[in-house]
Amino acid sequence: MLKQTVLHSAHIAAGGKMVDFGGWSMPLHYGSQLEEHHIVRRDAGLFDVSHMTIVDVTGDAGQPRAFLQRLLSNDIDKAGSPGQAIYTCMLNADGGVIDDLIAYWLGGDQFRLIVNAATRDTDLAWMNTVAADFAVSLEERPTLAMIAVQGPEARAKAATVLPAGLRDSALALKPFHAASDGDWFVARTGYTGEDGWEIVLPGDAAPAFWEQLIAAGLAPCGLGARDTLRLEAGLNLYGSDMDETTSPDASNLSWTVADRATREFIGAAVLRDSAVSDYLLTGLLLEAKGVLRDHQTVVDESGHAVGEITSGGFSPTLQRSIALARITRAAAESDAPVFVDVRKRQLPVRIVKPPFVRRGKPLIDLD
């Protein structure tokens, strides 16, 4: 049986098409995926992301920080002030990506991790295994809901219905910082390439708050728009663009690995000893009619396979088909043309550096 978010009944009432997403019943769209994509780029949209897993980390003095330094590829000390966050990977002993996540320092010995829903069981099992060597406590927070508001007008509109005690501090947040008031927690992060907030709140308060956000002018958006937005923003999707068999270096995530030469996080030894990755995750722009799809083969001009599309689709903002693809370093760094095999036709693509779109503006040359 599919799990349901606290807003499931609101989705059904709004006529949202529901689909299975990692074991959760989630809305694909609320009428028009294309309109939802554009409203986030141009105005303000909201997403129910209550399926995400929230884990609070506490413990004896210094132990939670030591635990996270061991668990995470990035350096938790980069979160230099209470409320600040880092984006990071959690690796296995072979340097493969178990998950990508955001880690917040809440102050003192308190931290918060927000991880993917589809990897919840694997993540919690791994965290508890690592935590056995530290005097820490891991508390999952399943009674909390999470709503993302995204778009150039999202913060201004959402602020009008935030609790009064949180409004000013939320509006003052810098990117990748958070403010809290009791169980309400507002972080200036997102998964669309636009400005906005991810708002954590008590589950029993979420349905009414969702309706207040709609009344304030934010439009409900589903998984379809969330995927096209994140692809335009060049943001990885776990299970497609990286997994336990791929390293951060082969997933355009080397920047999430801090001080691999000196820090003893899990997977560091393998990353230190490995040669430069033979593969890179990069962007593709289709230069012919067609649509790029996951798992299509990337070939060189001789027809030899040099990689595979990991995430592909049509970009509503660019009106072109785009993709993330894992291809050989030699092909990525060469000026030689590459193609994608689409129904036995080799369509020309241009290798580009993601993101494709940020803050509503194209970042690549379409000519």
Sequence-distant contacts of 334-338: CB under 8 A, at least 24 apart: 336/300, 336/301, 337/300, 337/301, 338/284, 338/298, 338/299, 338/300, 338/301, 338/306
Query: Is 316 among the domain residues?
Result: yes
User: Is 80 exceeded by the pLDDT of residue 12?
Assistant: no
pLDDT computed for residue 297 by the predictor: 98
pLDDT computed for residue 154 by the predictor: 98
The average pLDDT across 187-202 equals 98
| Total count of domains within the chain | 1
**pLDDT tens for each residue of 200-243:** 999 999 999 999 999 999 999 999 999 999 999 999 999 999 99
The average pLDDT across 186-202 equals 98
Query: Is 65 among the domain residues?
Result: no
Rounded-to-integer distance, Cα 127 and Cα 122, Å: 9
pLDDT computed for residue 220 by the predictor: 97
Cα-based distances in Å from 167 to 162, 177, 191, 205: 6, 14, 22, 17
Query: Is 317 among the domain residues?
Result: yes
**pLDDT tens for each residue of 99-122:** 999 999 999 999 999 999 999 999
Query: Is 286 among the domain residues?
Result: yes
Residue-range definition of the domain harbouring residue 330: 278-362
Query: Is 335 among the domain residues?
Result: yes
Query: Is 339 among the domain residues?
Result: yes
The CATH number for 350's domain is: 2.40.30.110
